[in-house]
Amino acid sequence: MTTPEVRPAAISARGWGWRHAGRSRPAVSGLDLEISPGERVLLLGPSGAGKSTLLHALAGVLGDSGAPGAGDDADADETGALLIDGAAPRAQRGRAGLMQQDPETQVVLSRLGDDVAFGAENLAVAPAEIWRRVAEALDDVGLAGLPLEHPTSALSGGQKQRLALAGILAMRPGLLLLDEPTANLDPAGVLEVRDAVGRCLDKTGATLVVVEHRVAVWKDLVDRIVVLQPGSATESAVLLDGPPDRVLEQARDMLIAAGVWVPGHVPATRARAAGGADGQGAPGQGTGDTPADPAAGGLLLAAEKLSVSRERPRRAGLLKGFGRIPPAPVQAGITAQVRAGEALTVTGPNGSGKSTFALTLAGLLPPAAGTVSAATELSRGAGIDPYTWKAQQLIARIGTVFQEPEHQFVTGRVLDELMFGPRQLGRGEERVDELLERLRLRDLVDANPYTLSGGEKRRLSVATVLAAHPQVLVLDEPTFGQDANTWAELASFLSELLDAGTAVVSVTHDAEFSQVLGGRELRLGAPQPELPGRMAPGVAAP
Amino acid sequence: MTDISAQQTLTTGRTHWRVVDIVVAALIAVAGGVIFWAWSQGSNLVSVPLNAVYPPLTGLYAGGWMIPAALGMLIIRKPGAALFCETVAATGELIMGSQYGASVLFSGFVQGLGAELVFAAFLYKRFNLPVSLLAGAGAGLFCGLNDSFLPWGWNIAYETGDKLAYIIFCAISGAVIAGGLSWLATRGLAKTGVLASFASRRAASEPVFS
Amino acid sequence: MRQALTLGGNRALLTRANPLAKFIGVVLITIALALSIDWVSASVALAFELLLFPLAGLTVALLWQRGWPLILAAAVGGWSTAILAPDHGRILLDAGIWSISEGSLQLGLGFLLRGLAIALPAVLLMSCTDPTDLADALAQQAKLPHRFVLGTLAAMRLVGLMAEEWQTIGMARRARGVGSHGNPVQRLKATLGQSFGLLVQAVRRASRLAVTMEARGFGGARRTWARQATFSRLDAWVLLGGILIPAAAVAAALGAGTWNIVLLGQQ
């Protein structure tokens, strides 16, 4: 079935440039680019090349919206011309549909059907036609099995992005703009979204422009790759332009240097020392209680028949004597050991309680049932249960790096951020210097942490936690959305820490990352909240 | 298709509310509600005894309710921001279950108005510390008056002296908590770069007193 | 908190009524009760409100779970009025600034009941009203500007996310050595820092959400509504209830001679 209403859009940029309000330098300048109707283009380039700015401009939201730097006081500056079908994007709302990275903000309304209808309503489509489009769009993205009243907050990340796609399709746009649409998703979610986009393009024939640094995901779907660079008055913003295979061949080294994930290339990482995993190699051997890694040291931390939940126990009402009702656990019966110098990778499907387990192990959440106990080597007199430790005791023993680095920022300056832990403890400031050097933060010491790039924020958040010298490091999806350079740096750095005797626990979907670290894998089963007695126990697999 | 509003925005940028103004203002109000809800979880230990001892003292933490009014205006900097944010915050409270019932909407509106009038008196051109404190005090004053003299006010039956004490405590609390903290928060936010699309992105480098 | 924003499968009769009609009813009850502080009008209204519970799909157990802070607040309000209202009648307790007389005690009791009778209709309203439907009615029928109504609705959807994020930021900061324990000053500092962290995320998320909405054509002057907000016969009954309940309460108080208009002084 084809959709005759969709008319693929043509894009034309002639000497186009944009300077955000309050900035001295333009985000994009001197862009010359022609995209024919129905073409599928992957945009690549280093951060700062203006990829997102271009997408925002094409979506018609620059200058009048929340796009970063879209000024309030006519302070922004546009040069040249950027046209869709010969007219300004802002003058033709609905001609282009934009999907951004964060799934939570790609959903507008609380009910599935309402959310899909939202865009069509804004374009003043007749109500009967809107509901026809809603049903069709939900079918196209594979969400037709859910009722229209289904709460959007109950969807997974991949489903939210597909829902966003449905909302866009219901506007019948001639141009799809995807701004790192899968960066926040697990591998299954990435494929879900990519395949849905592919199906919809085949059906509608719409033009596609996608920005994404994982090339392999989109390579087979696009028929052209454009590599952007920070342009200037004299130099073109387009560095390379052509069929995927040719561009990837010509620009391979340059793209690798810029941190782009080029297909078939695994970034070089430091190899674990003898006894550890061999860099690219298989995880270490071992089963049960024997350390997987012969070099691994003593037991530091153990989880015993652990049930985990983010909810606090509720107080029962007066009638039940104000007792405490334990929360329903997301996962139960987890048994695991953390040893010095050994990596433990926690894997499992979405909603299996991986992060919740890691937070409980790290002394940040109370166990819903079962125990987390620290060996004397780790507790050093602070008590057995990490959850009962004071914050200062905790950071010197177990360090936790959260998925969103911004959640952990506590000061307004990079250097203060690094000094914060040592100052709390009254020692260890000398390590800050080493970390600044090692994680390439030296030039950023005076910057506000929130203003850093994604990769810089990640490096900073790892450094700040390590500045307190914890013996156990817990990381929640540390490689999510990171470019290849940050990825390789992080993996190498952690392998060094492991060799130096730190225990590293990471929650990750990233198989290549866990391979570099070696060690053991703890696979958590699918969540079964209905049957608390028969929950799949977490099993430490070799 | 609907390019008229976009065109208007470019010409009437200082007073026209863009979509981003509306959504950010509303979410500030919502986040303010979450923050105050979290505060009050911990402050029951303080507030209940305070109330039992001398009820007008509760005015001293009333400023927490008025943060959205001051913060919203300091960030959005457009006419109506204080009124809008405080009304949204009150709506959020109503949805979560308010001890004041539907009257919370009117209280929110009145508190927002208190702050709005102060910013309007400075023609929406001054957003420095003294104006922020004054706006917070204005919201507090209106809050105190609302609670003491309007039919749904909780302190309507107090003796006049106690009412006066309550109103003064509210104004002080409004100035310090709503005005002062919001001003500090806006400067902090400006430094993080998240206010890039608002005129308040320069808040951190603006003079404190002029 | 997330559950508070959906009806969670509530299929009671009043969920089908127009939000605007329900809201007007609640406002009428609120105004009538606010006019007087007396235990009779408050009790009568309270009794009717309890009768409406099944129609709104609300149970006493559910109310107790969600509404006990309201009951506590009503009790505290009654207490503070009892000790601070001007005394008349026999003095029952006199301890410095505290004094409770027969008159002020009666006033305090009236206050307690009135507080509950004013708080409950709002709880009833929200337990049987979906915010999306409320927004539809406000924009389509009450003709409030749709950009503001829908922008607010979209932001409100994130309240659950904000509450979760508050908890996450708290943990993330503990992992940096910021304790939520310690002396009051340290705790205050920790809470302020956590609040700031949440504000940053709120502004970031709201900015992205605004881009999403605008990229879906939102912000123009004209739009259609996929969900038409309509009035039905049920709404006439709702409005009738909104008139009869306060009328009965006021009549009962006038009959019992306890009606006590607050604006004219409560002496």
Q: What is the ipTM score, two decimals?
A: 0.89
Test A67 with C178 for CB contact under 8 angstroms: no
Fold held by A11-257: Rossmann fold (3.40.50)
Residues of C in contact with B1 (CB under 8 A): 217, 220
Test B22 with C266 for CB contact under 8 angstroms: no
Test B201 with A22 for CB contact under 8 angstroms: yes
Test C214 with A61 for CB contact under 8 angstroms: yes
Residues of C in contact with A71 (CB under 8 A): none
Per-residue pLDDT at B44 exceeds 70: no
The Cα-based distances of C61 to A312, A317, C68, C76 in angstroms read 20, 9, 10, 22
Size of interface A-B (CB pairs under 8 A): 72
Considering Cα of A427, then A429, then A431, then A435, what sign does the dihedral take? positive
**To the nearest whole angstrom, how far is the Cα of C242 from the nearest Cα of chain A?**
29
Enumerate neighbours of A (3 or more CB pairs within 8 A).
B, C
**Other CB atoms within 10 A of residue A220 CB:** 11
Test A72 with B197 for CB contact under 8 angstroms: yes
**To the nearest whole angstrom, how far is the Cα of B55 from the nearest Cα of chain C?**
6
Closest Cβ–Cβ partner in A167, A404, A410 for C216? A167
The rounded mean pLDDT for chain C is 85
**To the nearest whole angstrom, how far is the Cα of A361 from the nearest Cα of chain C?**
12
**To the nearest whole angstrom, how far is the Cα of C9 from the nearest Cα of chain A?**
10
Residues of B in contact with A21 (CB under 8 A): 196-197, 201
Phi, psi angle pair for C254, to nearest 5°: -65, -45
Residues of A in contact with C209 (CB under 8 A): 66, 105, 108
Test A72 with B18 for CB contact under 8 angstroms: yes
Bridge partners of A12, per DSSP, are A34, A83
Bridge partners of A401, per DSSP, are A475
Residues of B in contact with C80 (CB under 8 A): 51, 55, 154-155, 158
Contact yes or no for A94/B1 (Cβ under 8 A): yes
Considering Cα of A273, then A279, then A285, then A291, what sign does the dihedral take? positive
Residues of B in contact with C70 (CB under 8 A): 97-99
Residue intervals in chain A for CATH 3.40.50.300: 11-257, 340-363+391-532
A93, closest residue in chain B (CA to CA): B1
Task: Return the pLDDT at A304.
Answer: 92
Q: Which residues of A479-516 are buried (b: 16+ CB within 10 A; e: fewer)?
A: bbbbbbbbbbbbbbbbbebbbeebbbbbbbbbeebbbb
Q: How far apart are CA A2 and CA B19, in angstroms?
A: 34
User: Is any Cβ of chain B less than 8 angstroms from the Cβ of A123?
Assistant: yes
pLDDT band at C96 (very low <50, low <70, confident <90, very high): low
Test C175 with A109 for CB contact under 8 angstroms: no
Task: Return the pLDDT at A282.
Answer: 39
**Other CB atoms within 10 A of residue B165 CB:** 20
Q: Which amino acid is at A516?
A: V
User: Is any Cβ of chain C less than 8 angstroms from the Cβ of B7?
Assistant: no
Closest Cβ–Cβ partner in B3, B14, B188 for A412? B188
To 5 degrees, how large is the angle CA B114–CA B120–CA B124? Answer: 130
pLDDT band at B43 (very low <50, low <70, confident <90, very high): low
User: Is any Cβ of chain C less than 8 angstroms from the Cβ of A384?
Assistant: no
* Short-list A363, A257, A369, A251, CA closest to A309: A369
**To the nearest whole angstrom, how far is the Cα of B24 from the nearest Cα of chain A?**
9
Name, of A446-460, B148-162, C26-40, C64-78, the range with top average pLDDT: A446-460
- Regions of chain A where pLDDT drops below 50: 1-3, 65-71, 73, 276-291, 317-322, 529-542
Test A65 with B10 for CB contact under 8 angstroms: no
A449, closest residue in chain B (CA to CA): B192
As given in the structure block, the two tokens for residue A404 are 């969103």
Bridge partners of A178, per DSSP, are A99, A210
Closest Cβ–Cβ partner in C167, C205, C225 for A104? C205
pLDDT band at C209 (very low <50, low <70, confident <90, very high): very high
* Short-list B41, C62, C200, CA closest to A312: B41
**To the nearest whole angstrom, how far is the Cα of B31 from the nearest Cα of chain A?**
15
User: Is any Cβ of chain C less than 8 angstroms from the Cβ of A56?
Assistant: yes
Residues of C in contact with B162 (CB under 8 A): 84
Considering Cα of C169, then C172, then C178, then C182, what sign does the dihedral take? positive
As given in the structure block, the two tokens for residue A285 are 């051997």
Test A448 with B192 for CB contact under 8 angstroms: yes
Closest Cβ–Cβ partner in B5, B37, B101 for C219? B5
Enumerate neighbours of B (3 or more CB pairs within 8 A).
A, C
As given in the structure block, the two tokens for residue B161 are 């002296």
Task: Return the pLDDT at C73.
Answer: 72
Q: How far apart are CA A203 and CA A198, in angstroms?
A: 9
A92, closest residue in chain B (CA to CA): B1
Fold held by A340-363+391-532: Rossmann fold (3.40.50)
Residue of B20, B74, B197, B198 best to disrupt the A interface, most CBs of A under 10 A: B197
User: Is any Cβ of chain B less than 8 angstroms from the Cβ of A404?
Assistant: no
**To the nearest whole angstrom, how far is the Cα of A82 from the nearest Cα of chain B?**
16
CB proximity list for A200: less than 8 A, separation 6 or greater: A140, A141, A165, A169, A176, A206
Task: Return the pLDDT at A530.
Answer: 41
Q: Rounded mean pLDDT of B173-195?
A: 96
Per-residue pLDDT at C216 exceeds 90: yes
pLDDT band at C13 (very low <50, low <70, confident <90, very high): confident
Task: Return the pLDDT at B1.
Answer: 40
> Token match 């951004």: residue?
A100
Test A100 with C214 for CB contact under 8 angstroms: no
Q: Chain B window 72-131: which residues touch C at a Cβ cutoff of 8 Å?
A: 75, 84, 88, 91-92, 94-104
Residues of B in contact with A94 (CB under 8 A): 1
Closest Cβ–Cβ partner in B6, B23, B199 for A72? B199
Q: Which amino acid is at A528?
A: Q
Strands (E), A262-313: 299-308
User: Is any Cβ of chain B less than 8 angstroms from the Cβ of A410?
Assistant: no
**To the nearest whole angstrom, how far is the Cα of B48 from the nearest Cα of chain C?**
8
User: Is any Cβ of chain B less than 8 angstroms from the Cβ of A92?
Assistant: yes
Test B20 with A94 for CB contact under 8 angstroms: no
Task: Return the pLDDT at A291.
Answer: 47
Q: How far apart are CA A462 and CA A405, in angstroms?
A: 9
User: Is any Cβ of chain C less than 8 angstroms from the Cβ of B154?
Assistant: yes
**To the nearest whole angstrom, how far is the Cα of C101 from the nearest Cα of chain B?**
13
Task: Return the pLDDT at B15.
Answer: 83
Closest Cβ–Cβ partner in C5, C34, C210 for B23? C210
Task: Return the pLDDT at A223.
Answer: 95
Test C154 with A59 for CB contact under 8 angstroms: no
**To the nearest whole angstrom, how far is the Cα of C160 from the nearest Cα of chain B?**
9
Test B13 with A72 for CB contact under 8 angstroms: yes
Test C147 with B22 for CB contact under 8 angstroms: yes
